[in-house]
Structure 1
Amino acid sequence: MDPVYSGPAQPDQNGRHERMHRDLKAACAKPSSFDLKAQQRSLNRFVKEYNHIRPHESLEMKTPADCHDFSNRPYPEKIPKYHYSSTMKVMKVCQNGSMRWKSYYWVYLTAALKGKYVGAEDQGNGIWRVFYSDVFLGYFNEKNIRDKQVSIRLSQNLV
Structure 2
Amino acid sequence: MHLDMRYEVEDAGAADQVAQQRKLDTWRQEFNHVRPHEALGQRTPATVYRKSPQPYIGPRAPCYPAHATVRTACSSGRIRYRGRLVRVGQGFSGYVEGVATHDPRVLRRHPRGCRRSMGQGRVRAGY
Query: Taking structure 2 as the reference length, what is the TM-score of the superposition?
Result: 0.73
CA gap of 1:100–1:125, structure 2 versus 1, over 3 A, is closer
Q: Structure 1: how far apart are the matches of 2:57 and 2:33?
A: 25
2:34 aligns with: 53
Indicate the structure whose relative CO is greater, using CA pairs within 8 Å and at least 6 residues apart.
2
Q: Which runs of 5+ in 1 are unaligned?
A: 1-19, 146-151, 153-159
Percent identical residues: 25
Q: Does structure 2 conserve the Cα–Cα contact (< 8 Å) formed by 1:90 and 1:117?
A: yes
Runs of 4+ in 1 over 4 A off after TM superposition: none
Alignment equivalent of 2:90, drawn from 102, 105, 110: 110
Q: Structure 1: how far apart are the matches of 2:82 and 2:111?
A: 19
- 2:122 alignment partner AA: Y
- 1:38 alignment partner AA: A
Q: Does structure 2 conserve the Cα–Cα contact (< 8 Å) formed by 1:92 and 1:99?
A: yes
Query: Taking structure 1 as the reference length, what is the TM-score of the superposition?
Result: 0.61
- 2:101 alignment partner AA: D
Q: How many residues align?
A: 122
1:3-152 equivalence runs, <5 A: 20-71=1-52, 72-76=54-58, 79=59, 81-111=61-91, 113-124=92-103, 126-133=105-112, 136-142=119-125, 145=126, 152=127
RMSD: 2.6
SS at match of 2:80: strand
CA gap of 1:38–1:85, structure 2 versus 1, over 3 A, is closer
- Report deviation, 1:64: 1.9
Q: Structure 2: how far apart are the matches of 1:116 and 1:26?
A: 32
